[in-house]
Amino acid sequence: MPNRRLAFAFLALWLVTGLVVLVAAIRTLLDALHAPRAQHALVVLAAVEAVGALLFLVPATMRAGGVLLLVTFGVAIAAHSHAGQFAGPLFAYAAATVFVLAHGPVPPAALRGAAPGRHP
């Protein structure tokens, strides 16, 4: 079992990534809905990203949400690149998502485990 500090650090990365992406997706969705010109593709992409972020935050659906997020990040990175923009934050979100997917959910026992800095 990993030490408790590592489990809490992973949990923080998972939650912060999911919440930041969720808030950004909702803000993008609202901006696209209220734009003077219709931005249907952006509305769909932001809505799918928001659903992916919600799924990502739930342990049972984390993998499906993570895959959905990676797809939306890929589409958004391609769109930004096509417009000549560098989408650095999207690469960081994608890297954090890949790490969380590779690790998997934190079992509650890991959070109750050994004292910080000690190994069982």
Cα–Cα distance between 87 and 102 in angstroms, integer?
A: 23
26: three-class secondary structure by DSSP:
helix
Cα–Cα distance between 2 and 107 in angstroms, integer?
A: 10
3: three-class secondary structure by DSSP:
coil
- For the chain, what are the domain ranges? 4-105
Nearest partner of 75 among 45, 96, 43, judged by Cα:
45
Single-letter code of the amino acid located at 19: L
What pTM value is reported for the model? Answer: 0.86
Q: What is the mean pLDDT of residues 95-109?
A: 91
The sign of the torsion formed by the CA atoms of 28, 34, 39, 45 equals: positive
pLDDT digits (tens, 9 = 90+) for 24-78: 999 999 999 999 887 899 999 999 999 999 999 999 999 999 999 999 999 999 9
